[in-house]
């Protein structure tokens, strides 16, 4: 099945209009949630599911004494982002 450029533009426009989160947006929300959870900040009201998941992972990581800091563990962030998809 072929799709024309016009049809593709329409599909993208509808997705954006509905507020469908893009993968980069989900990753930013996850990172922000993780950081807030790690630092003990109150969770954001009405946040996205990606933020909530990041927040709970951040809280859990902060509870572990041997956990490295957020900036020192980029491979953990990458693995958790993959788990979101």
Question: What is residue 66's predicted lDDT score, i.e. its pLDDT?
Answer: 45
Q: For the whole model, what pTM was predicted? A: 0.52
Q: What mean pLDDT do residues 24-51 have?
A: 88
Higher-confidence residue of 18 and 54: namely 54
Cβ atoms of 36 and 58 within 8 Å: the answer is: yes
Burial class (CB in 10 A: 0-12, 13-18, 19+), 53: buried
pLDDT in tens, 43-76: 888 888 889 988 988 888 877 644 455 555 666 6
């Amino acid at each position: 099945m072929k799709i024309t450029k016009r049809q593709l533009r329409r599909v993208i426009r509808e997705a954006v209009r509905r507020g469908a989160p893009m993968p980069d947006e989900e990753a930013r929300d996850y990172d922000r949630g993780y950081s807030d959870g790690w630092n003990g900040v109150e969770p954001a009201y009405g946040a996205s599911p990606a933020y909530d998941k990041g927040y709970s992972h951040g809280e859990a990581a902060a509870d572990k004494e041997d956990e490295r800091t957020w900036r020192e563990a980029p491979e953990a962030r990458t693995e958790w982002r993959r788990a979101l998809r």
